[in-house]
Structure 1
Amino acid sequence: MISKSKVVLSVMLAIGLLAGCGSKGDHAQPQAGSSVAPKEEKVSITFWRNSGNDAENSAYDKLVASFNEAHPNIKVEMSPIPFADYDTKVRTAIASGNPPDIMAIDGPNMASYAQAGALQPLTAYFKKDGNLEDIPESTIATYTYNNEIYMAPLTESSIALFYNKKMFEAKGIPLPSKNPEEPWTWDQVLDAAKKLNDPAKGVYGIDPAQGFGNAGGTAYFKYPIIWQFGGEIMSPDGTTSKGYLDKPETKKALQFFSDLYNEHKVSSLEYPPDAFPNGQLAITVDGSWSLGNLADKFPNFKLGEDYDIAPLPKETQQAVANGSWSLAISSKSKNADAAWQFVNWVTGAEGAKTYTSITKDIPARYSVANEVPELNEYPMNIFVVQNQKFGRPRPITPIFPQMSEAVNKMIEEVTIGGRNLDTAVAEAINKIDRAYDSLPKK
């Protein structure tokens, strides 16, 4: 969950100012391969993470216990923190100069922590024994800022096109391919949505991006549409949106999205609860995590009979957002080498295999995904292949929250408010550039 932009910015400023000042806690950064501690001295490592579901908690409990047993000179003390409180608690601890050694951070927030000097670079550790070639380059790029890797990925998620198979068959519409590399175009999706749309009977053609809500969350669904049309949101260095958010391809994507609601009227600003499994929504874009939810809550709405899954549509190219909660080491840690041993234990191939076997998440590593048969078969192969071959980082920028708010508001104003597209884009660029300019200078 992303905090309100003004609050996040003020806290980031505080962190940035703190990072720019000397303190008694400052120390030279440890290097990969240096001594962890004298053999007779037991090192205690603090690890904070957001409290997850039962499966996630069980997986972490198992990994911490196995690490502590295998490393008698290192003790990891894990603190699960409620999700609603987590981000604030971590930022407060960093600002006060007393952060945990290891912390879980959501991918898009990495750059704000790294820019503030709160994270230990992990590049040297990865090159030493992190098995970088086992992780997709696009995934590593998500956790890289100013040419340094700052976080170690454990799992990934992905989204795809869910469609009501029986509705398609009733209308005689050919079904999309299940091949992850053979997506429909957006024009094909629009054509099907028009044929299936029947508002008089309470049936809507498509929900293209999980409606309108939290900016950080909807970015995960809306940015791929921009990329699929060949557009961009920010510069590769994350400093400006000028020349990117106002690209013709970006504007074409934004206009297409708005037209789904306003010209073609195949999308609605509001849908009934559980519209897709209840037969009131013909096509939707949803995540791999929804498969379990549909099976549990709607057992009579069956995959392969009532609905099926296809890769995300494309216009000029395939694209999907990547990046999930991953592990980082504090720049203040006095035991960074020991902390890396634990991070590598959890996110390495064996740890990831243990974790994902319990949680059923998609592993970030090729080797782990290759070993799980169901990840190489329909429907999970669609999510896995899309992520590995067509995954893209959301903009890597220390102003991600402010950028997300600006882009989300722009899309809402154009789609819901009918605002002129060029005017809305120009204002969003101005907001984003002002936010970046307001960062503390080092």
Structure 2
Amino acid sequence: MKKRICLSVLAVLLLAAGSYGGSVFFLSEDKDESGQGVTEESAEIELTFWRNYGTRLENEAYKELIADFESSHPGIRINMNAIPYGDYELRLRTEIAAGSPPDVMSIDSPNLALYANAGALRSIDREMKKEGQLEDIPFSTLEGMKFEDEIYLSPLAESGVALFYNIKLFEKAGIPLPSEDPSEPMTWSEAAELAVKINQPENEIVGIDPGQGFSDGESPAYFKTPLLWQFGADVLSPDGTTADGYLNSENAVEALQFYQDLYHLHKAASVEMPPDPFVTGHLGMSVLGSWMLEEIERNYPDFKLGEDFGVAPLPKGIRQVTPNGGWALGISSKSEHPKEAWEFIQYMTGYEGSKKYVEITGDMPARFSVSKTFPELAVYPKNIFVEQALKYSKNRTVSPAYPVISDTLKELFEEIGIGGKDVRESANRAVMKIDSALEDMD
């Protein structure tokens, strides 16, 4: 049964009305003696495209891809609006509620259910099955593009995380470097022991950052939810109807207690750290995204892979599992130009567009064919991300209530990490908040 959106923070989505499309510009017509119109030039279609303002390399890639698309499609102009990450979701939902959404929008895959369920996205199931070369996309990636078994998004790249470690701090502590084998990760208990040995608060050296600190947006859920999975827990029941018995299960409490202990018992993690602690030598281990390899190489050329830092598979609990999913492109249900919008998405997420995007950003491809053109993906360190994605990855929770779920997870890890509050009580409060949101949707 298709559920309706009824969440206090997102209720404005129900108010969406009216129609919207990219602007169409026509030159004035001259009439001949027969009264027939004579068009001096063909109409130019402008598609509005919204995306989050990403890294410098991502921004560079989008600009180049759009320029290439416009060059090969002279009748279509792309008006891109890149919005800061922390403001993007609110701005997008506001425009959807106002009835003036962009023609093409970038969606973080776990938010797909929210937008599709609200009727804000147009299904591209037919187009993807006919022209999207679905066999070229990994099954787990493609599943994250679906809502109620229909495809709504097309992926541009994949994502993954791993454990980055400072070689010199490991050597200084007299401990061996982690395994580089993607199928042989250390356990979180082993990682905690290493973090304690590396940790030197008197020298402003922190042992480990287990989940990208305490940032805003989707980052907390993306980096921290895997810890629950690794300890055998989950956020929601398989049918997506409740968090009770899952986010507050014994396995979840164990995972959350382990996380809290890194900060408050072992004191090997720190709530406050200096800017860029990993590349400046103030952090022994950090869970970072695959995109950071290129970022470090370009922005910190003196901090070298193999000399200053290394990459190991993400630590495991009772199971090995990593997050996947990333930003993908979809079409507004209000767009007056769905055909042209699909042409744009097809180019951006097809072989040529994906290949150029990966060349510039260093991200992992979402297509097998693109992966084959980059031999470095088969060798260390990028093979770690690739093999984890293919063998051990999992999609984040799929639910129309995901914005509430994501925000609740952020608050949960802040309560136990920053505030040091009772883990079980915090988990129960989180369950109540999520289940209340889910009940409002019935």
**Would you call these one fold, judging by a TM-score over 0.5?**
yes
Q: Which residue of 1 aligns with 2:10?
A: 12
**Contact 1:43–1:335 (CA<8 Å) still a contact in 2?**
no
TM-fit CA distance, 1:396: 1.4
Question: Residues 200 and 316 of structure 1: is their aligned pair in 2 closer, same or farther, counting only changes over 3 Å?
Answer: same
TM-fit CA distance, 1:281: 2.0
TM-fit CA distance, 1:311: 0.8
Matches within 5 A, 1:47-58: 47-50=48-51, 51-52=53-54, 55-58=57-60
**Contact 2:293–2:362 (CA<8 Å) still a contact in 1?**
no
TM-fit CA distance, 1:55: 4.4
Question: Residues 167 and 178 of structure 1: is their aligned pair in 2 closer, same or farther, counting only changes over 3 Å?
Answer: same
Question: Residues 198 and 371 of structure 1: is their aligned pair in 2 closer, same or farther, counting only changes over 3 Å?
Answer: same
1:251 aligns with 2:248: no
TM-fit CA distance, 1:12: 3.1
Matches within 5 A, 1:342-381: 342-381=344-383
Q: Deviations over 1:303-337 (max 9, x none)?
A: 21122110100112222222222110111234323
Segment drifting more, 295-304 vs 423-432: 295-304
**Contact 1:103–1:328 (CA<8 Å) still a contact in 2?**
yes
Question: Residues 335 and 233 of structure 1: is their aligned pair in 2 closer, same or farther, counting only changes over 3 Å?
Answer: same
Q: How many equivalent pairs are there?
A: 416
Q: Deviations over 1:84-114 (max 9, x none)?
A: 6644443233223233322222223222111
Question: Residues 104 and 297 of structure 1: is their aligned pair in 2 closer, same or farther, counting only changes over 3 Å?
Answer: closer
**Contact 2:222–2:396 (CA<8 Å) still a contact in 1?**
yes
1:387 aligns with 2:389: yes
Q: Which residue of 2 aligns with 1:203?
A: 205
Task: State which of 259, 262, 271 in structure 2 corresponds to 1:260.
Answer: 262
Letter in 2 for 1:394: R
Name the CA distance, whole Å, in 2 between partners of 1:24 and 1:209. 41
Name the CA distance, whole Å, in 1 between partners of 2:265 and 2:250. 20
Q: Deviations over 1:158-178 (max 9, x none)?
A: 221111222323443222111
**Contact 1:203–1:281 (CA<8 Å) still a contact in 2?**
yes
Name the CA distance, whole Å, in 1 between partners of 2:205 and 2:58. 36
Letter in 1 for 2:80: S
Matches within 5 A, 1:10-409: 10=8, 12-18=10-16, 44=45, 46-50=47-51, 51-52=53-54, 55-71=57-73, 75-83=76-84, 86-214=88-216, 216-409=218-411
* SS in structure 1 of the partner of residue 94 of structure 2: helix
Question: Residues 422 and 194 of structure 1: is their aligned pair in 2 closer, same or farther, counting only changes over 3 Å?
Answer: same
Name the CA distance, whole Å, in 2 between partners of 1:219 and 1:41. 47
Letter in 1 for 2:145: Y
* SS in structure 1 of the partner of residue 341 of structure 2: helix
Name the CA distance, whole Å, in 2 between partners of 1:426 and 1:52. 34
Question: Residues 24 and 81 of structure 1: is their aligned pair in 2 closer, same or farther, counting only changes over 3 Å?
Answer: closer
Letter in 1 for 2:153: M
TM-fit CA distance, 1:437: 2.5
TM-fit CA distance, 1:62: 4.1
Letter in 1 for 2:366: A
Letter in 1 for 2:133: N
**Contact 2:50–2:102 (CA<8 Å) still a contact in 1?**
no
* SS in structure 2 of the partner of residue 342 of structure 1: helix
**Contact 1:224–1:319 (CA<8 Å) still a contact in 2?**
yes
Segment drifting more, 188-197 vs 222-231: 188-197
Question: Residues 42 and 317 of structure 1: is their aligned pair in 2 closer, same or farther, counting only changes over 3 Å?
Answer: farther
Question: Residues 43 and 242 of structure 1: is their aligned pair in 2 closer, same or farther, counting only changes over 3 Å?
Answer: farther
Cα RMSD after superposing both structures: 2.7
Name the CA distance, whole Å, in 1 between partners of 2:220 and 2:318. 22
Letter in 1 for 2:313: P
Letter in 1 for 2:292: S
Segment drifting more, 123-132 vs 407-416: 407-416
TM-fit CA distance, 1:237: 4.3
Segment drifting more, 45-54 vs 399-408: 45-54
Name the CA distance, whole Å, in 2 between partners of 1:280 and 1:13. 44
Which blocks of at least 5 consecutive residues in structure 2 are unaligned?
1-5, 22-40
**Contact 1:100–1:333 (CA<8 Å) still a contact in 2?**
yes
Name the CA distance, whole Å, in 2 between partners of 1:334 and 1:258. 50
Question: Residues 52 and 187 of structure 1: is their aligned pair in 2 closer, same or farther, counting only changes over 3 Å?
Answer: closer
* TM-score, length of structure 1 as denominator length: 0.85
Question: Residues 118 and 261 of structure 1: is their aligned pair in 2 closer, same or farther, counting only changes over 3 Å?
Answer: same
Name the CA distance, whole Å, in 2 between partners of 1:54 and 1:265. 34
TM-fit CA distance, 1:45: 5.3
Name the CA distance, whole Å, in 1 between partners of 2:416 and 2:427. 9
Q: Which residue of 1 aligns with 2:36?
A: none
* SS in structure 2 of the partner of residue 371 of structure 1: coil
TM-fit CA distance, 1:9: 4.8
TM-fit CA distance, 1:222: 0.7
Name the CA distance, whole Å, in 2 between partners of 1:99 and 1:267. 42
* TM-score, length of structure 2 as denominator length: 0.85
Q: Deviations over 1:18-54 (max 9, x none)?
A: 47xxx6889xxxxxxxxxxxxx986735131235556
Name the CA distance, whole Å, in 1 between partners of 2:386 and 2:200. 33
Which blocks of at least 5 consecutive residues in structure 1 are unaligned?
1-7, 27-39
Name the CA distance, whole Å, in 2 between partners of 1:128 and 1:397. 27
Q: Deviations over 1:43-93 (max 9, x none)?
A: 735131235556444533443444445456x52433224336644443233
TM-fit CA distance, 1:424: 1.4
Question: Residues 98 and 203 of structure 1: is their aligned pair in 2 closer, same or farther, counting only changes over 3 Å?
Answer: closer
**Contact 1:406–1:428 (CA<8 Å) still a contact in 2?**
yes
TM-fit CA distance, 1:376: 2.3
Question: Residues 68 and 295 of structure 1: is their aligned pair in 2 closer, same or farther, counting only changes over 3 Å?
Answer: closer
